[in-house]
């Protein structure tokens, strides 16, 4: 491809592009013919997630202005700290990534008149705990993400920033993390693979919507192309309690103490994303069946 044709392609920046969801998004955008730049500090991202056709730059989002001198058409801002419970142990990191970094990305988009697609957190819509704590105040992560959705909206009011805010609901699939920063499906998958008991945090009745990463990416592409404003909930119809999820893998379970940040469930609204033509294509049950079959 000639340099002229390369420059004529729409440029998209994905912060967190070497992470779980970000890497799948980068891959899809590159396959669609966009020029894609990933900016990642590799806190939870991995160079093993690099895909063909994407340019990778390493660094903190606070330095986006110097790391990306280009003017992108769209910035997908996925590059934030994204775990509720462990955030209680490292609030300084959370606030650095999610407040300092995101403000820099907003200023970057404002200066360049780039559209920003912000990945909010569905914890904002969580039902209150029994002690009355609302979902948005459960940890430094949930609070910072909720505040950021308001800041993004106000950048639209104050400066005319073109934006769309999406909300993920328990995304699972290839490249998912386990361990300290892992998510439930992959943690259970790893425990099952090692023939270990699956550790379920009490009470086990807390429910979640589980959404495949490729369905999530389908929605992100639609929002990037057509979406405007807030409230793009990206959630499948697959709702399971933690106990039900674990039992899709195995009956070899052990109950663990409840976490301080545990929440019973969350409000889900997919009307806006469905209005763009999005439909669920994958189910959690089939994914787990395929994972178990591969292991056998």
Does 263 score more than 90 pLDDT? no
**Of residues 127 and 213, which shows the higher confidence score?**
213
Query: Which secondary-structure segment (H or E) carries 40?
Result: strand 35-40
pLDDT of residue 181: 87
The whole-number average pLDDT for the span 257-271 is 85
E strands, the chain, are 11-15, 35-40, 54-58, 74-77, 115-121, 163-168, 171-172, 198-201, 207-209, 211-212, 229-234, 239-241, 253-256
The whole-number average pLDDT for the span 273-284 is 98
Q: Which of 68-77, 127-136, 166-175, 213-222 has the lowest mean pLDDT?
A: 127-136
- Pairing relationship of beta strands 74-77 and 115-121 according to DSSP bridges: parallel
Domain architecture of the chain: domains with CATH: 9-170+211-235+267-280 (3.40.50.720)
% of residues, the chain, pLDDT over 90 = 85
Does 50 score more than 70 pLDDT? yes
pLDDT of residue 8: 59
- Pairing relationship of beta strands 207-209 and 239-241 according to DSSP bridges: antiparallel
């Amino acid at each position: 491809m000639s340099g002229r044709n390369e420059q004529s392609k729409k440029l998209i920046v994905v912060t967190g592009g070497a992470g779980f969801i970000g890497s799948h998004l980068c891959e899809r955008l590159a396959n669609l013919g966009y020029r894609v730049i990933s900016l990642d500090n590799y806190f939870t991202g991995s160079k093993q997630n690099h895909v063909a056709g994407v340019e990778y730059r390493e660094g903190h989002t606070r330095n986006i202005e110097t790391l990306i001198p280009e003017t992108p058409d769209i910035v997908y801002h996925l590059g934030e700290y994204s775990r509720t419970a462990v955030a209680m142990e490292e609030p300084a990191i959370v606030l650095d990534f999610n407040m300092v970094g995101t403000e820099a990305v907003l200023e970057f988009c404002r200066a360049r008149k780039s559209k920003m697609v912000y990945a909010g957190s569905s914890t904002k819509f969580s039902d209150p705990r029994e002690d009355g704590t609302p979902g948005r105040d459960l940890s430094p992560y949930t609070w910072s993400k909720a505040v950021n959705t308001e800041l993004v909206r106000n950048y639209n009011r104050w400066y005319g920033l073109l934006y769309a805010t999406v909300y993920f609901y328990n995304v699972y699939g290839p490249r998912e993390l386990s361990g300290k920063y892992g998510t439930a499906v992959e943690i259970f998958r790893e425990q099952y693979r090692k023939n270990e008991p699956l550790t379920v945090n009490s009470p086990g009745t807390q429910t979640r919507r589980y959404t495949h990463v490729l369905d999530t990416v389908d929605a992100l592409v639609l929002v990037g192309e057509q979406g405007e404003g807030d409230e793009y909930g990206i959630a499948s119809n697959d709702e399971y309690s933690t106990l039900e999820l674990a039992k899709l893998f195995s009956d070899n379970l052990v109950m663990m103490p409840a976490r301080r940040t545990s929440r019973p469930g969350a409000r889900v609204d997919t009307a806006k994303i469905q209005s763009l033509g999005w439909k669920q294509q994958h189910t959690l049950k089939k994914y787990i069946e395929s994972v178990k079959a591969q292991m056998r």
